[in-house]
Structure 1
Amino acid sequence: MDTKKVWFITGASKGLGLILAKQLLSKGQQVAATSRSLESLEKEIPQTENFLPLEVNIVDEKSTQKAVNKAVETFGRIDVVVNNAGYAQLGTLEELNDEESRKNFDVNVFGALNVIRSVMPQLRQQKKGHIINISSIAGFNGMYAGVGIYCATKFALAGLSEALAAEVKEFGINTTIVYPGTLRTNFLESSSVGVPKAPIAEYTEGRRIVDLHIDVLNGTQQGDPEKVAHALIELSDMENPPLHLFLGSDSFELAQNKIKIVEQDLQQYEKLSLSTDF
């Protein structure tokens, strides 16, 4: 990293967010890090002049605005924003109730929107900055039974990020959607994953996928979060960073599979697709 940057990272008390914050601080970068619990941040990361721990409820716009203001007041600017906070709500679409579904959207989508709205005036004034939204390969390839709502939140985050990129380009601000594959963090532990309150036994494939995530994948994920954090730092130093970045061999392969399916549908149904114009 050639110059010192100010990073604003949500969900930084554990998992990828914590690992990224630690790597940045070890390189002398300035980090404003948010968590629902200030105590958890202070426990994980020793206090230094380059570190600003912030207790934030990202679903509360006033809370995110207060945190952004404090970061700018402390460090003078914000260079890189990482919308990392989120959790996985498992369960089939039928068995999840409205509260379970909306809560996942509140955190994964509207939480990120709150941060974006709060930070954009500062980035526009600077006429530079980089917003990195952590989606998931499940936000590009959603063909998994029992993960539909989580996929929907990550697809939404990717979609708004594409629009954001078009909107903020004129201000010299970059946007990147990051699609990690499975990462060996605590993401699949009870504190970061939701299971349906009223499961429906008939959904055998949905049950299998939910059980697979909790009982098998947890602790055996092939993605190395240390390497992902390093990749995010490398991303931040690019002069022309990509809009879409797939991280992990599983993510890369699943993205290619999705693209092939779409290409096949385009080719097979081209005549029907082109038949609806005036």
Structure 2
Amino acid sequence: MNTSKVWYVTGASQGLGLILVKKLLASGYRVAATSRNVQKLKEAVGVIDADRFLPLVVDLNNLDCIDESVQQTLQVFGRIDVVVNNAGYGMTGTVEEIAEQDIRKIFDVNVFAAVNVVKKILPLLREQRSGYIINIGSVAGFVGAPGWAIYSATKAALAAFSEVLALDLKEFGIHVTVVEPSGFRTGFLTHDSLAYTESKIDGYQAVKDTAKRYLDGNGIQPGDPEKASEIFMELAESSQPPLHLYLGQDAYNRVAGKLKTMTDSLEEWKTVSISADYTK
């Protein structure tokens, strides 16, 4: 592997981001890692190596702050090769009960933060005519589950953003992958994600059952974040990485099932679909 590459990883103080940063540093890469709390990041990583590790305190919803972190990375490492938009969190609950400010907050973190990072790093990658962007989505962005409507909407937006971004950047030699995992043991189910778990509305049994299933499975998810991190490093060395990469058996099964259902429905309603055009 080309360990001279410089990685820029957001949301690096915990979960998958932290594991990835540790794995990258152990493999000899240079890493700029962002967090809202740089001291927490340093303590979590446990490696203070100014030659290869640059911890950055960054507000990902502040373009000036992101720009400053990019400039710091360039000053220390001279380039950026791989961008991992990992910052994000989950949220479950009925749509009626989730407060407007919480909906806006999760879109800010899960969608607009990634867009902001791309906006600020793209000029550099275009000038290099090389680079790789990994956006961490979720299988929920394609196959949602009851109670995850808002979260799924953020990840669907990130997937669509990634798809068109890949088309826009192809001519510059810049690749894009949206990684869409199922359940991984990363501490994903946080206080924020569980704030609306207990619905007070009559009915919505599917939502309540799904929330209980996720809570009961917390800490025993089948996905291994160490293996996921290794896959990311392999992707960065590929000359043709995939646009979509679903991680985990559950993700594969859910996507395969939905694709079949969609194909069947598309053909069933084909006559109606094409009937909407002007008749020649």
Q: TM-score, normalised by structure 1?
A: 0.95
Distance in 1 (CA, whole Å) between partners of 2:98 and 2:213 is 18
List gaps (5 residues or longer) in structure 1: none
Q: Which one of the candidate residues 55, 58, 64 is aligned to 1:56?
A: 58
Q: Partner of 1:94: helix, strand, or coil?
A: helix
CA-to-aligned-CA distance 1:169-194 (integer Å, 9 cap, x gap): 1111000111111101111132x624
User: Structure 2 counterpart of 1:54, which letter?
Assistant: L
CA-to-aligned-CA distance 1:182-211 (integer Å, 9 cap, x gap): 101111132x62422983332222122223
Quote how far apart the aligned CAs of 1:3 are.
Answer: 4.2
2:37 aligned with 1:37, yes or no?
A: yes
Distance in 1 (CA, whole Å) between partners of 2:160 and 2:56 is 28
Report what 2:134 is aligned to.
Answer: 132
Q: Partner of 1:57: helix, strand, or coil?
A: coil
Distance in 1 (CA, whole Å) between partners of 2:194 and 2:168 is 33
User: Structure 2 counterpart of 1:249, which letter?
Assistant: Q
Quote how far apart the aligned CAs of 1:161 are.
Answer: 0.6
Distance in 1 (CA, whole Å) between partners of 2:197 and 2:102 is 9
- For the Cα contact (< 8 Å) 2:197–2:211, is it kept in 1? no
2:182 aligned with 1:181, yes or no?
A: yes
User: Structure 2 counterpart of 1:85, which letter?
Assistant: A
Quote how far apart the aligned CAs of 1:53 are.
Answer: 0.3
- For the Cα contact (< 8 Å) 1:189–1:218, is it kept in 2? no
Q: Partner of 2:97: helix, strand, or coil?
A: coil
Distance in 1 (CA, whole Å) between partners of 2:29 and 2:187 is 25
CA-to-aligned-CA distance 1:204-258 (integer Å, 9 cap, x gap): 2212222322x31210100000000001111110011111111111111111011
Q: Which one of the candidate residues 72, 75, 78 is aligned to 1:76?
A: 78
List gaps (5 residues or longer) in structure 2: none
CA-to-aligned-CA distance 1:34-92 (integer Å, 9 cap, x gap): 01100111101211020000011111222111111111111000000000000001112
Report what 1:22 is aligned to.
Answer: 22
Report what 1:239 is aligned to.
Answer: 239
Q: Partner of 1:71: helix, strand, or coil?
A: helix
CA-to-aligned-CA distance 1:3-22 (integer Å, 9 cap, x gap): 42100000011111011111
Report what 1:147 is aligned to.
Answer: 148
- For the Cα contact (< 8 Å) 1:201–1:207, is it kept in 2? no
- For the Cα contact (< 8 Å) 1:87–1:187, is it kept in 2? yes
Report what 1:209 is aligned to.
Answer: 210
Report percent identity of matched pairs. Answer: 45
Distance in 2 (CA, whole Å) between partners of 1:3 and 1:96 is 44
User: Structure 1 counterpart of 2:38, which letter?
Assistant: L
Q: Partner of 2:111: helix, strand, or coil?
A: helix
Distance in 1 (CA, whole Å) between partners of 2:69 and 2:226 is 26
- For the Cα contact (< 8 Å) 1:180–1:248, is it kept in 2? yes
User: Structure 2 counterpart of 1:20, which letter?
Assistant: L
User: Structure 2 counterpart of 1:216, which letter?
Assistant: D
Report what 1:91 is aligned to.
Answer: 93
Matching of residues 238-277 of structure 1 within 5 Å = 238-277=238-277
- For the Cα contact (< 8 Å) 1:90–1:210, is it kept in 2? yes
Give the number of aligned pairs.
275
2:154 aligned with 1:159, yes or no?
A: no
